[in-house]
Structure 1
Amino acid sequence: MKWKRSERLVDITHHLLEHPHKLIPLTYFSDLYQSAKSSISEDLGIVKETFEEKGIGLLVTVPGAAGGVKYVPKLHVEAARAIIQELMEELGHSDRLLPGGYLFMTDILGNPSIMNRVGKVFATAFANEKIDVIMTVATKGIPIAHAIARHLNVPVVVVRRDSKVTEGSTVSINYVSGSSRRIQTMVLSKRSMKSGQRVLITDDFMKVGGTMNGMKNLLEEFDCSLAGVAVLVEAQHSNEQLVENYLSLVKLREVSEKQRTIALEEGNYFTNGGF
């Protein structure tokens, strides 16, 4: 069947959006649509121009026999800032305040539209990094990890507090919680990661960074390296942060449980290399 150009453009766009960061040979599209490579190149040129103009992402062309085209999700600065501002508005409602200076975020973490956009913001920051795995700790970090992984096209591994029989053989470490200063345990299945992988760790909330630091230490047990740290909300804390290099979208500057007020500001996303 001979495809019309309009049909090819729709199908090519859909395929690229469904397979971010995957190198697709031009012969794949050429064979699929029974079209010459020159026609496919023209189609990709139209898609590339539209993606970049609308802030959807980049189309990277790799020349040579083993080359092809790769879609890299990437937002414009203005779009990323708008997403962060919307997130701050959602988090700023006084009824979200919980004892201990925490915020209720379960509804936001369960909102697929918000999480998809948050994932793309972080994926934009790490678009040029080699990342093999996203790591988070159960349970609230899981939606963020999957959102980022969707746009980077990599798997997710989940660290747990205790061992499950369904995990098989596991590796466990003890770490010091940054806020409570208590000794806690992290467990990860031995089959979760391979030696030498580069790992992006993420979580929904960070006070001092004890949990993040624990995940960093766990990477050493698997002979893996840290590719980056992504935090949805960080809390301003008088104590020294245990994690130095990280990206956060929102900073919880101050809360008053008595007056029921929440003071938020942009995180360090733009100042620490998000763009």
Structure 2
Amino acid sequence: MKVRRSERLIDMTNYLLSRPHKLISLTFFADRYESAKSSISEDLTIVKRTFAQWGIGVIETIPGAAGGVIFTPSISEQEARTFIAEMTDRLSEESRLLPGGYVYLSDLLGQPEVLQRVGRLIARQYIDKKVDAVMTVATKGVPIAQSASRYLDVPFVIVRRDSKITEGATVSVNYVSGSSKRVEKMELSKRSLQEGANVLVVDDFMKGGGTVNGMKSMIEEFNASLVGITVFAEAAFDGQRMVDDYTSLLKVDKVNTLDKKIHVSAGNYLEQVFG
């Protein structure tokens, strides 16, 4: 029995959303819905227009016998601004201030809706760049890397500060912590990353940039290339950061432990991505 157009549109939209960056042929859709390719093309035009209108993503048509359509996730500027403003307010809550001036982030980065939009923001930033893998350090950056890799449709790799027997042979590098200036060590399984890969580094929080700089060194050890660095939040830092070319969604400008006040503003993401 042929599928009605309304049903086709719903199923087609869901299919594309769940398979970003995958080439899907018109023949597949035609067989799936027992419909003519001309009808499928008309349906895809509707979905393409709707995705563009709401900033959901881009649908690219590949011509030829081996062609089809590819969905690339994105996010609209308005949704990005609204989300970052929301996160700015939530990160400014007094209850987030921990002893020592640290800011509590774990609850935000444990919420699927927040992580979903963070992943879309990161995917939007690198929409025109080739990314082969997303790298982070255990443990708080893992959900961000997982979300970003899902929307970029690439693997994510986890750099660890201690070796695991289940990782097999590892590559290790020493790095200097940006805040404490101590020499630390991080390790990555040799099987985790291919030589020559284009790697995107993500993390939850950056202060002096020592951990991120360590991941840059790790990428060099694999003869791979750094595509970019994106962090959920950065802290104001008086000294010289170990990395200067990065993107942040949020910026913790000031923490007053006496008054229990946290001042948070938008990071440089909006400026770098939307101008």
TM range (shorter): over 0.9
- Corresponding residue pairs, total: 275
SS of equivalent to 1:38: helix
Residues 150-189 of structure 1: pairs in structure 2 closer than 5 A: 150-189=150-189
SS of equivalent to 1:102: coil
How far 1:64 moved relative to its partner?
Answer: 2.1
2:104 aligns with 104
Supply the distance in 1 between the matched residues of 2:131 and 2:52 (Cα, whole angstroms). 23
More displaced, 178-187 or 96-105?
A: 96-105
2:102 is the alignment partner of 1:71: no
How far 1:25 moved relative to its partner?
Answer: 1.6
Check the 8 A contact 2:77/2:274 in 1, yes or no.
no
SS of equivalent to 1:185: strand
1:194 aligns with 194
2:42 aligns with 42
Check the 8 A contact 1:125/1:274 in 2, yes or no.
no
| Aligned residue identity for 2:193 | M
| Aligned residue identity for 1:70 | I
Supply the distance in 2 between the matched residues of 1:193 and 1:262 (Cα, whole angstroms). 38
- Deviations 1:35-68 (CA, angstroms, capped at 9, x unpaired): 2211111010011111111221111112223321
Supply the distance in 2 between the matched residues of 1:131 and 1:148 (Cα, whole angstroms). 11
Residues 84-99 of structure 1: pairs in structure 2 closer than 5 A: 84-99=84-99
Residues 274 and 162 (structure 1 numbering): CA distance in 2 closer, same or farther, change over 3 Å?
farther
TM-score (norm 2): 0.97
Residues 54 and 145 (structure 1 numbering): CA distance in 2 closer, same or farther, change over 3 Å?
same
SS of equivalent to 1:178: coil
SS of equivalent to 2:2: coil
Q: Which runs of 5+ in 2 are unaligned?
A: none
1:31 aligns with 31
2:227 is the alignment partner of 1:227: yes
1:52 aligns with 52
1:264 aligns with 264
2:114 aligns with 114
Check the 8 A contact 1:124/1:274 in 2, yes or no.
no
Runs of at least 4 residues off by over 6 Å: none
- Deviations 1:224-264 (CA, angstroms, capped at 9, x unpaired): 10111110000111111211211101001011101100011
Q: Which runs of 5+ in 1 are unaligned?
A: none
RMSD of the alignment, in Å?
A: 1.2
- Deviations 1:66-100 (CA, angstroms, capped at 9, x unpaired): 32111111111111010101111111101111233
Check the 8 A contact 1:247/1:274 in 2, yes or no.
no
SS of equivalent to 2:135: strand
| Aligned residue identity for 2:207 | K
More displaced, 54-63 or 228-237?
A: 54-63
Could you tell me the percent identity over the aligned residues?
A: 53
SS of equivalent to 2:270: coil
Check the 8 A contact 1:3/1:33 in 2, yes or no.
yes
Check the 8 A contact 1:144/1:204 in 2, yes or no.
yes
